[in-house]
Structure 1
Amino acid sequence: MTDAFSSIDLAKELTLALEMADAGDAIAYAYFEKQNFTLSRKADHSEVTQADRETETALVDFITRLRPTHAIYGEEHGHSGNADSPWKWVIDPIDGTSNFVRGVPVWATLIALVHDIEGPVLGVVSAPALHQRWWAARGLGAFANGREIKVSDVATIAEAQISVTFNAGWEKIGGTANLIALQQRAYRARGYGDFWQHMLVAQGSVDIAIDAIGLAPYDNAAVQAIVEIAGGRHSDRLGIRDYTQNSAISSNGRLHDEVITSLKI
């Protein structure tokens, strides 16, 4: 641990994050089960529902009440809290809203605690419709439903299982052909998408996950923390460790540099 952690107890912060996830699940899952929400479009044409907004409001209120000295950044309500704090909670109330609104159970609430120098150091990914929750904090390990997890030790692309999310962002930079070529070199390729592919990397079920281009910090922060604490690597498409970038690749670490090289345009 560095001096950055001298004023904080990550075990207590993790307990708080898990309590927040319980609160978020109670709101979002109730809407998902009933499918009785209003749907609208944001300026970027992405979907947003009452469930997104109400879940984030509950989490922000939770943090504001119990961690008033911390900063907050959420997908729906933006920045709040103490802007001068080195500690920031980064929240995506529902990652996978497109799935959520169609009744597909692959969606989750993402909660991360980020330090302004160290980056994401704690993450919770709670997917109640999948009956799955992943969490991790630096120095405390990474877990899935209470079971400690770690990335795989697969050492070659030819042996690797890979998840790829194609989108217009990859096409725009001319990257689609390289994605296809990498898939063809792998043992098995699928498209699990969103948070799920990265959590599968963290638990050793998948070896490489390549996300869409066009991500935001709240898409990346929690998954980065969990992947890294499970022993893997998480970076943008150029290999830069920065959760604020608009692309994300996670791997078991052994394969990361080769993946980055393979995707260079």
Structure 2
Amino acid sequence: MNQELQTAVRAARTAGAGILKTFGELAHSDIQPKEYKDFVTAADRQSEADITKILTEAFPDDSLLCEEGSNKTGTSGRQWIVDPLDGTLNFIHSFPVFAVSIALRDSTGELALGVVYQPVLDELFTATRGEGAFLNGTQIHVSTRNDPEHFLIATGIPFKDYDYLDAYLATLRDVIHDSAGIRRAGSAALDLAYTACGRFDAFWEYKLYPWDYAAGVLLVREAGGSVTGFDGNSDVFAHHSIIAGTPATHGLISEKAQRHFIL
């Protein structure tokens, strides 16, 4: 494990331990509205502080892009992308589906490593470009299922921007016909990690932010899957929409999304 991955893992585990201390015990005063139907908690902010401290001490010349605003422009050309608590609404409601997500883009803009940590289950997903994806040290791969009647597909439902709701629902209707079931867990980072390890056969969501998906994108790719935007562009940072899947599912979801969305 290289120094960057070691540091990201240490940061994720430190943040996860802190998050668990208040899980199920949040006071109302610990929750603040961030924007319409979007919230931030004291646990989000403390997690981000823990992560950025560790990353900055180890790599002071790197940039930071963080959901809660602890951003920094460095001189190295590298950028750490951090979601300190992906699934905040789940966390607020004591629904145990949330994660810490940390990714690194190198000086060429390519994803170099990704870490997604689910502290409730102590599941650590890691990936380094060109070296595979792992769950708690064991290599993982995307699903090999080929029959749509067996597919379990994850998605994210629009919850504050309704301009594309009709297109989303039309896509969802089509996907329902070509799957055994749909899941909306509330954490894109975990949806992608679970796609990487074969629990989900695919994941799609429209309008995400880099901290939601950066680490998970590398996990899926290193586990043998494909990830693009809805427009088919492999540069997921260009469009902020995600279709992640296996050789059997990626094209299936892409065709349905492109049928209904104006891109």
Task: Indicate whether the TM-score tops 0.5.
Answer: yes
SS at match of 1:117: coil
Flag structure 2 segments of 5+ consecutive residues without an equivalent: none
Q: Distance in 2 between matches of 1:90 and 1:178?
A: 29
Correspondent of 2:201 among 200, 203, 207: 207
State the superposition RMSD in angstroms: 2.0
**For the residues of structure 2 that align with 1:234 and 1:172, how far apart are their CA atoms?**
22
1:10-159 matches, cutoff 5 A:
11-36=2-27, 38-82=30-74, 84-159=75-150
2:185 is aligned with 1:183: no
191-200 or 146-155: bigger deviation: 191-200
Q: Does 1:254 align with 2:258?
A: no
Q: Secondary structure at the residue paired with 2:7?
A: helix
Q: In 1, Cα distance between the equivalents of 2:4 and 2:243?
A: 26
TM-score by length of 1: 0.88
Q: What corresponds to 1:3 in structure 2?
A: none
**Which letter does structure 2 place at the counterpart of 1:70?**
D
Question: Aligned partners of 2:248 and 2:79: how far apart in 1?
Answer: 30
Deviation at 1:78, TM superposition (A): 4.4
1:94 Cα shift? 0.3
- How far off is 1:158 after superposition? 4.0
Tell me the SS of whatever aligns to 1:155: coil
In 2, the alpha carbon distance for the partners of 1:169 and 1:241 equals 26
User: Alpha-carbon deviations, 1:115-165, whole Å to 9, x = none?
Assistant: 243522211111111332211111332111222101112235344221222
Q: Could you say if the C-alpha distance between residues 52 and 179 of structure 1 is closer, same or farther in structure 2, counting changes exceeding 3 Å?
A: same
Q: Give 3-state SS (helix, strand or coil) of 1:179's partner.
A: helix
| Counterpart residue identity of residue 18, structure 2 | I
| SS of equivalent to 1:34 | coil
2:221 pairs, out of 210, 213, 228, with 228
Corresponding residue pairs, total: 254
Alpha-carbon shift at residue 227 of structure 1 (Å): 0.9
Whole-angstrom CA distance in 1 between matches of 2:150 and 2:232: 22
Does the 8 Å CA contact 2:52/2:70 hold for their aligned counterparts? no
Deviations 1:194-214 (A, max 9, x none): 222221210012211122x33
The separation in 2 between residues aligned to 1:197 and 1:89, in whole angstroms, is 21
Post-superposition offset of 1:166: 2.4
**1:156-188 Cα deviation digits (max 9, x unpaired):** 534422122222557446231122111222133
Deviation at 1:33, TM superposition (A): 4.5
Distance 1:77 1:190, change over 3 A: closer
Q: Which deviates more from structure 2 when the two are superposed, residues 67-76 or residues 24-33?
A: 24-33
Give the TM-score normalised by the residue count of structure 2.
Answer: 0.88
Structure 1 residue 46 displacement after superposition: 0.9
CA contact (8 A) 2:116 2:216 kept: yes
Residue 233 of structure 2 aligns with which residue? Answer: 240
Moved segments of 4+, more than 6 Å? none
